[in-house]
Structure 1
Amino acid sequence: MMGLRNLRVLYAVRFFGSLIPAYVIERLFWEERGMTIQMVVYTEIIFAVTVVLLELPAGIIADRRSRKRMLVLASLLGCFEFLILVYATSFWHFALAVFLAAVGRSAGSGAENALLYDSLQEAGREKSFEQVLGRLNAVDITSTMLAAMCGSFLAGLCGYELNYWISLASSLAALCFTFMLVGPAASGGAEGEKSIPIGASIAGAVRFFKRNRRVMPVMLSGMVTGASLNFIDEFWQLYLDRIGIPAAAFGLFSASIFLLRLPGNLLAYKLKTRMGSGPLLTAVTAVLAAGFLYLSMARNVSGLAAIFLICLAGGVIEPLAAGYLHHRIDSSMRATMDSFQSLGLNAALIAIGLGFGYFSSRWDVFGGYGFVGLLCLAFCVYFAFASSKL
């Protein structure tokens, strides 16, 4: 069946799309080329603003035209991103690469989950969406770990730039596999339909939220916690550098924090059955709040335990939030609604990034993590009340 073929191809796309050894030394490479923490935060904001502006139109195009084409575009832009970074020497070079990455992210984020769900639906396996998404994320994580271990070794042996050339080659491989995807019949003919105005699609999304008021707290939880986790992924290298851990250990550490996300991704569907979505997400948010606050205060190796705990708890977030949404929406607007989730996450990233950048400029990365911890704590209190009705 075409649906099952898509699953195999998506595994390959995820593997090569995550086999990016550049990420393990990214902050050091950027810092070496003159990028300060504040500049990095500015690029994060450029990324988030671009995604906020393009995410919803991209989701609508994916629903109305072709999800495969949007995934091909995302992979193509990923190749250009690394090509630019190899030669980047100024802030605007990095900003352009981040902008292209954001356009690619907008093109692919809603389209991938929509294609996955409809492929499963065609095979009669849509109830296993959280399980399969968790396995896709597990492939993603395994590939990231492999890239981190190899990238750390190669960086110490050959310098940072080689990792970016290898990342470009892996991105090209992912692009080749996206051409093998097909639009499943389970999409109900959504792809290729006559164009519907963006305003009508947005109105349909608003009606969906009015009819399904319980969805919004879960989506907000995914947005806030997902944005918060981003600051672990983006700045753990600086944290380790500040507490005196050498770059030679970065590969092992990077592999460890991604390995810790595997259990959550693989077991999210079982935890949801036993605990329920509301209590589970409340517990995860509380763990994140405690972990970030500890990171801001413990400026020594004990902070690594807090990072490990944050990553362990954070593994359940994406399958849980995405599954809660996709089980409740129609195929004709699946990518559009998934794009709403990504749009909100990046809006949260902008807001949190402004605070993170401000406090980091005053108290280094420790102050930034303290701000994120207080924000997670405040949201945890809200969500504990809101989730009682889930």
Structure 2
Amino acid sequence: MNVQNIWKLYVIRFFYHLIPAYVIERLYWEERGMTVPMVVATEILYAVTIVLLEVPSGIMADKWGRKRLIVLSAFLGCLEFLILVFASQFWHFALVVFLAAIGSSAASGAENALLYDSLRSEGKEAAFEKIVGRLNAVDVVSIMLAALSGSLLAGKFGFTFNYWLSLGSMIIATAVTLLLKEPERGNIGEDQGSIPFKTYITEAIRFFRNHPGVYAVILTGMAIGAAITYVDEFWQLYLALLGIPTAAFGIFSAGLFVTRLPGSLLAYKLKGVMSMRAILLTVMTVTAIGYVYIASVDNWTGLIALFLICMAAGVVEPLASGYLHHRIDSSMRATIDSFQSLGLNAALIMVGAGFGYFAARLGLLGGFGFLAAFVIVFLGFFAARSRAV
């Protein structure tokens, strides 16, 4: 039964994110000779590769099967950690980042597409948002376990030990991907693989043009996703600015993840009591107010605003993905989902440029002020364009 894919996806997600190497990643890279400019260069390589491959990988998932792309992503994850164990030169790390970008692109559209069609084949597609929320919760639990154990293990056995453990976790995830079943996709013809790539792109663009409500929801989800990323990236600097001791950072990091769990797990229930439009307007309003407060007040009460932003953001991904997938034909599911991921990464680049510009000139709080303005602009956009939602 295709519904058996669900528990396999839970296991894959758990081991895919059970990576103790990440907690000491920058220290390990520095130990192997990677300077800050070198790391920045690899980050740029990652972003460019993602933008170039996101949509083509989604098309390949629709043409040749979602399972193949998920297996490829997991296999590349194994290869990444195997290379990192022996990495000693810049090109080794650049190759790892390049492979990571390919793997991320391969899985981004394919996984949601396989999940939705697995549920659809059993008449359970209405549970999509609930399962996405639970998958996100699995991610959080796995990441926290890896971070807490990784720091202890690295201190006792050295940094390289964490990378061997991470490789083992990825091997388990890869093995489980091989057990996935490709779900049926309705009336998909046998000549699906012969359809030109250009046709997928033009059909995806036509879909968004003909569904203004979807367009508004997805753009808003991208905006919230891009804005919350810079909480994840710079909360350490914010805590340092407030004079909070480094010893408390671990607890705060765990707290940021935990506060997203209620939103992810309960997002599907909100659909029964509020409209999608009302939910997103509420989330954006809370997020905008939170960023305005953080940018205006430099004391510990700003931490409350950070937690509220994370709590609100946890609601968005399951609902935005569900809103999109409930309206996509199976033949285009991974392709259109990849457009969503492409837009998010493009938004990350643009928002990052603005955040960096204002943070450099006005300090970190100036960067958060830019995020407040960015979210307010999208709040106005969504309020004006969301009548069809």
TM-score, normalized by the shorter chain, greater than 0.5 = yes
The residue number in structure 2 matching 1:179 is 178
Name which of structure 1's ranges 202-211 and 309-318 shifts more when overlaid on structure 2.
202-211
Counterpart residue number, 1:53? 52
| Map of 1:166 onto structure 2 | 165
Cα pair distance change 1:245/1:88, threshold 3 Å: farther
Name the counterpart of 2:308: 309
Report the counterpart of residue 97 of structure 1 in structure 2: 96
Deviation larger for 25-34 or 297-306: 25-34
Pairwise CA distance, 1:383: 1.4
Aligned match of 1:134: 133
Matched-pair contact (CA < 8 Å) for 1:45–1:349: no
CA distance in 1 between counterparts of 2:116 and 2:90 reads 39
Are 1:272 and 2:271 an aligned pair? yes
Deviation for aligned residue 1:55: 0.9
Kindly state the Cα deviation for residue 200 of structure 1 after the two structures are TM-superposed.
0.8
CA distance in 2, matches of 1:145, 1:162: 18
> What SS is found at the alignment partner of 1:124?
coil
- Which amino acid letter does the alignment assign opposite residue 170 of structure 2? S
Q: CA deviation at 1:330?
A: 0.7
CA distance in 2, matches of 1:34, 1:243: 30
Match status 1:342 vs 2:341: yes
Match in the other structure for 2:382: 383
Instruction: Quote the Cα distance in structure 2 between the aligned partners of 1:292 and 1:40.
Output: 28
Classify the secondary structure of the residue corresponding to 2:131: helix
- Whole-Å separation in 2 of the counterparts to 1:249 and 1:85: 30
- The count of residues paired between Structure 1 and Structure 2 equals 388
Instruction: Confirm or deny: 8 A CA contact 2:13 2:139 kept in the other structure.
Output: yes
**CA–CA distance in 2 between the matches of 1:87 and 1:214?**
49
Offset at residue 153 of structure 1 (A): 3.4
Q: 1:46 to 1:349 in 2, by over 3 A?
A: farther
Q: CA deviation at 1:376?
A: 1.4
The change in CA–CA distance for 1:372 and 1:158 in structure 2 (over 3 A counts) is farther
Deviation at 1:199, TM superposition (A): 0.9
Q: Deviations over 1:10-33 (max 9, x none)?
A: 110011011123334445656776
CA distance in 2 between counterparts of 1:19 and 1:125 reads 29
> By how many angstroms is 1:7 displaced?
0.9
Which sections of structure 2, spanning at least 5 residues, go unmatched? Answer: none
User: Counterpart of 2:195 in 1: which secondary structure?
Assistant: coil
Q: Specify the code of the residue in structure 1 equivalent to 2:327.
A: R
Alpha-carbon spacing, 1:187–1:155, altered in 2? closer, same or farther (3 Å): farther
Within 5 Å, which residues of 2 pair with 1:28-43? 35-36=35-36, 43=42
Residues 211-226 of structure 1: pairs in structure 2 closer than 5 A: 211-226=210-225
Shift, 1:337, TM fit: 0.6
> Which deviations, in whole Å up to 9, do the C-alpha atoms of 1:89-118 show, x marking residues without a partner?
676655443322211111000000000001
Deviates most, 259-268 or 225-234: 225-234
Deviation track 1:122-177 (CA, whole Å, cap 9, x = no partner) reads: 11101111111111212122212222222343355556554333323212221111
Matched-pair contact (CA < 8 Å) for 1:64–1:191: no
The 2-side partners of 1:358 and 1:119 are apart by: 44
Distance 2:279 2:30 in 1: 38
Q: Partners in 2 of 1:90 and 1:233 — Cα distance?
A: 28
In 2, Cα distance between equivalents of 1:232 and 1:168: 28
**1:195 CA displacement:** 2.2
Query: More displaced, 231-240 or 254-263?
Result: 231-240
Q: CA deviation at 1:268?
A: 0.8
Q: Does 1:109 align with 2:112?
A: no
1:199 paired residue number:
198
In the alignment, the residues of structure 1 paired with residue 236 and residue 82 of structure 2 have an alpha-carbon distance, to the nearest angstrom, of 23
Q: What does the per-residue CA deviation read over 1:217-248, in whole Å, with 9 as the maximum and x for residues that have no partner?
A: 00101111112222222333444455454554
Structure 1 distance, partners of 2:255, 2:298, is 20
What is the CA-CA distance between 1:4 and the residue it aligns to? 1.6
Mapped partners of 1:80, 1:368: distance in 2? 37
Q: Which residue type is aligned with residue 60 of structure 1?
A: I
TM-score (norm 2): 0.89
Preserved contact between residue 45 and residue 350 of structure 1 (Cα < 8 Å): no
Distance 2:16 2:319 in 1: 22
SS at the partner of 1:123?
Answer: coil
CA shift, 1:350, in A, is 1.3
Q: CA deviation at 1:45?
A: 4.0
Which position in structure 2 is the counterpart of 1:369? 368
Per-residue CA deviations over 1:165-222 (Å, capped at 9, x if unaligned) read: 3323212221111111110124544687332111111111122123212110001011
The 8 Å contact of residues 49 and 350 in structure 1, kept in 2 or not, is answered as no
Contact 1:14–1:139 (Cα < 8 Å) also in 2 = yes
Match of 1:21 in 2: 20
Q: Structure 1: which 5+ residue stretches go unaligned?
A: none
Counterpart for residue 121 of structure 2: 122
For 1:181, give the aligned amino acid. Answer: L
Cα pair distance change 1:384/1:134, threshold 3 Å: same
The match for 1:210 is 209
